[in-house]
Structure 1
Amino acid sequence: MSDVMEKMQERGQIYSDFYSNKLPKRMPVEASFPNAMLADHAGMDPVSYQYDYAMLAKPAEELCGKIYSDSCPIAPPNIVGTRTPSIYELLHSKNFVMGQTGQVQHPEVVGMMAEEYPQLIEKGFDFLLETVVPRQHPMLSLEDPIKRSTALEMGKTALNNDTMGFIPIYMELIQKFGYYPGGPMGSMGIAEAPFDFVADQLRSFSGISVDLRRNRSLIKEACEVVLPLVFAWGMPDVVHPEGAVILPLHMPTFMREKDFVEVYLPTFQKQLEQYAAVGVRPSIICEDDWSRYLDIIHDAFPAGTKLIFEYGDPRTIKDKLGEKFILSGLFPVQSLYLDTPEKIVDRAKEFLDIMMPGGGYLFSFDKQPIGGKDANVETWAALNEFLRDYMVYDNPGQSFGTPLNAEGFVRDLDVIPEVRSKYLFDWEEHKRLYPHTPDHAKARFEKISKDIFVSYMNLLI
């Protein structure tokens, strides 16, 4: 067996053990290089590569050779994680625009007026397609169907080209360095909590803050209406222990605890429990400082959920949540450019001596580096080599933590029903029109419809 294959098998076993609640022989070490860092490493300007991601192939390989990682530090471009500018420009989008530094940024936008809550509540997904999407992406206006269809096709094709053009580079890195390739294809999803979805691009931060005082009951109704949408949006095609649905949480730390408990949490808790019921692990990004919510998290979130924290006291978080959940985050990303290699190793040892005992902690930063100057290569290399050698358990195979859905939640269509819309594929209607269509075509057509649904939802995150 080749050295590369041995590395892939070893790393695959490490991840398999960890997500099966067994201590691996050592904890996985991960790196995630921002594209801006790759461009800066190669001396590129911060804009050009975003229209041809293949330009990053050489610096990606060079940095992979310098900084240790068990998983591939480079991911193919996508609309959510990378914010590829081509699709946003072709749709004349208002919700994501490129700044002077080349960073694609999210300005505060309003896709739904306060007086339109009743329309969202009545029409759900149809209202998003007819009203919100055209406001955020003017080229998708309903006034000119031909221009709309052309722009949509161009945007989707540009996004697909950005992604597919980089996949051979990504696969070559996996094969060359023996990286763990991740869970099975289709086992990852992304969505938002219902309240965050209403707040983020429908009402805006300032708008939802006013609504909490003036339209509290309407927000609750709206959250119930969008709950099936965000649940279906995040549902992966393949359910696997090493997969997940990623849920970045935006609003809770800007809310009163009373509002969080009464307005935010009820629908989000249903969403989490129904994911757990079908074996999908929620991977929650707890943005900002969630210290005042730790007890609520412990009682409300399903066992086996992965919690990625930005801020908070590591020891308190470990003590309160470490037995029930998988923990991640908290290590300060600014240490990658402020610390010397020696300093960051000392910092990491002190941190891991808190987080490692008993298992269940996956090392990561409080935030991901974004800009080209956010990390010193030598410091990052020293950190990851230390992590690889230090994060070793002397009792591998021993169980830790609490498995996903230890509570035994069951999928309940009365809690979260299927998404219904006149704009989505209806098999019964299709069979009425085309009775000759064989039943085995149903799954394929429904998958295509689901992909279209997800592509529209991705325009609103």
Structure 2
Amino acid sequence: MSDEMNLVQERSQIYRDFYNNKLPKRMPVEASFPNSLIAEFGGLDPISYQYDYTKLASAAEELCEKIYSDSCPITPPNIVSTRTPSIYEILNSRNFVMSKGGQVQHPEVVGMLPEEYPQLIEKGFDFLLETVVPRQHPNLSLDNSIKRSTALEMGKTALMNDTMSFIPIYMGLMQKYNYYPGSPMGSFAVAEAPLDFVADQLRSFSGISIDLRRNREFIKEACEAVLPLVYAWGLPAVGHPEGGTMLPLHMPTFMREKDFVELYIPTFKKQLEQYAAVGVRPTLFCEDDWMRYLDIIHDELPAGTKLMFEYGDPKIIKDKLGKKFILNGLFPVSALNKDTPQQIVDRAKELLDIMMPGGGYLFGFDKVILGAKDANIETWASLNNFLREHMVYDNPGESFGTPLNSEGFIRDFKLIPEVKSKYLFNWDEHKAKYPHTPDIAKGKFEKASHDIFVSYMNLLI
């Protein structure tokens, strides 16, 4: 067997072991290069490359050469993590706009007025399509159906072109550096918690902060109304231990504990338990400082959930949560800029001495790197080389932690019903009109409808 195949197998095995609660012979080392960093490192204009991502190819390869990683450090452009500007410009979007420096930013926007809670509660997805989406993306206004359909098709085509143009570069790096191939296609998705979804682009941060005092009952009902939407949105086609559903958690640290317990947790807990019931691992980015919520997390969230922390005391987090959950994050990304190579190695060893014993910790930064000025490449390379050599276990194969869905949750359609909407495909109605259509077409049509549903939901994250 070639050395290349051996490396791919080694990397696949350490990920397989880790996500199946077995100590790997060594922990995986990961790097992630945001496009803005690649562009700055390559001396590219911070704006123009975002309309031709193939310009990143040379710099991306050079970074991959310099910094060790077991998984591919780059990902093809997409609407959720990359914020490709073309689709937002074509839709004349208000919720994501490019700054003068090239960063596509999320200004505070209101997609739903406070008096419209009853409409959201009653109509769900229909209300989003009829009211919220046109407000956030004016070129999808219902006033001009031809302009709307043209803008929608142009936006989807632009997004697809941005993604597909970068695929050969991504695949070339995967092959050249023999990276971990990742979880199976269709096993990873993105969504939001119900209250975060209501807050983020429907009511805005300011609006939801007022509603927490004035419209508590409406918030409760709204979270129940959007629960089927965010659940279906974040449900991967394939459940797999190495895949999962990513949920960035925005509001909790800005809420009182009473509000968190009474308004945020109930529907969020249902969402996560129902993911676990079908073998989908929730991956939560706990933004800001969650130290006051650690006991609630331990008691309320399903075992095997992956928790990515920004701030907090590593020892307390490890002691309270390490046996039940997979932990990630906490290492300050600022160290890449201010530390010498030796200082960052010493800092990493200090954290790993706390987090590694007993397993269950995947090394990661507390924040995303924005540009090359935020990271000294030599320091980063020294860090990852150290991690590869140091994150080794003497007892590989031993079990650690608590596997996903150890509680034995079962998919319960009474807790989270399927999404219903007059705008989504209905097989029974179609079959009544076209009785000649064979049953084998049902899955194809329903998948196409679900893809459209996800596309609309992605416009609101």
- Range into which the TM-score falls when normalised by the shorter chain: over 0.9
Q: Distance in 1 between matches of 2:146 and 2:371?
A: 39
Name the residue aligned to 2:216.
216
Partner of 2:118: 118
1:84 aligned partner: 84
CA–CA distance in structure 2, aligned partners of residues 398 and 429 of structure 1:
53
1:367-405: per-residue Cα shift (whole Å, max 9, x none)? 111123111100000000000000000000000000001
User: In the alignment, which residue of structure 2 is the partner of 1:187?
Assistant: 187
For 1:440 and 1:203, how far apart are their aligned partners in 2?
42
Partner of 1:308: 308
- The 2-side partners of 1:220 and 1:430 are apart by 35
Aligned to 2:16: 16
Partner residue, 1:436: 436
TM superposition shift of 1:168: 1.1
CA deviation profile, 1:100-137 (whole Å, cap 9, x unmatched)? 11000000000000000000011000000000000000
CA contact 1:425–1:446 (8 Å) conserved in 2: yes
Q: Please, which runs of 5 or more residues in structure 2 have no aligned partner?
A: none
Q: How many residues align?
A: 461
Contact 1:34 1:372 in 2 (8 A): no
The one-letter amino acid paired with 2:456 is Y
SS across alignment from 2:365: coil
The 10-residue stretch of structure 1 (33-42 or 310-319) with the greater mean CA deviation from structure 2 = 33-42
| Counterparts of 1:136 and 1:359, CA distance in 2 | 44
Aligned-partner Cα distance in 1 for 2:195–2:451: 23
Q: CA offset at residue 42 of structure 1? A: 1.1
Shift of residue 209, structure 1, vs aligned partner? 0.5
> What amino acid is the match of 2:9?
Q
Counterpart in 2 of 1:368? 368
Q: Supply the distance in 2 between the matched residues of 1:410 and 1:309 (Cα, whole angstroms).
A: 28
- The one-letter code of the counterpart of 2:312 is G
How far the C-alpha of 1:2 sits from its partner, in A, is 2.2
Gap runs ≥5 in structure 1: none
What are the residue-to-residue correspondences of 1:92-131 with 2, within 5 Å?
A: 92-131=92-131
**Secondary structure of the corresponding residue to residue 288 of structure 2:** strand
Q: Is the 8 A contact 1:27 1:388 kept in 2?
A: yes
TM-score of the pair, normalised by structure 1: 1.00
2:275 maps to 275
Alignment of 1:118-157 (within 5 A): 118-157=118-157
The TM-score normalised by the length of structure 2 is 1.00
Give per-residue Cα distances to partners, 1:216-267, cap 9 Å, x unaligned: 0000000000000000000001111110100000000000000000001100
Distance of 2:181 and 2:257 partners within structure 1: 40
Matches within 5 A, 1:286-435: 286-435=286-435
Structure 2 counterparts to residues 2-41 of structure 1, below 5 A: 2-41=2-41
CA distance, structure 2, for counterparts of residue 142 and residue 36 of structure 1: 35
Q: Look up the equivalent residue of 2:173 and give its one-letter code.
A: L
Identity across the alignment (%):
78
In 1, Cα distance between equivalents of 2:183 and 2:98? 32
Map of 2:54 onto structure 1:
54
- Tell me which residue corresponds to 1:172: 172
Shift of 1:182: 1.0
Is 1:205 the counterpart of 2:181? The answer is no
- Structure 1 runs of 4+ aligned residues shifted over 2 Å read none
1:204 counterpart SS class: helix
Q: By how many angstroms is 1:4 displaced?
A: 1.8
Equivalent pair of 1:110/1:202 in contact (CA under 8 Å): yes
SS of aligned partner of 2:374:
coil
Counterpart of 1:445?
445
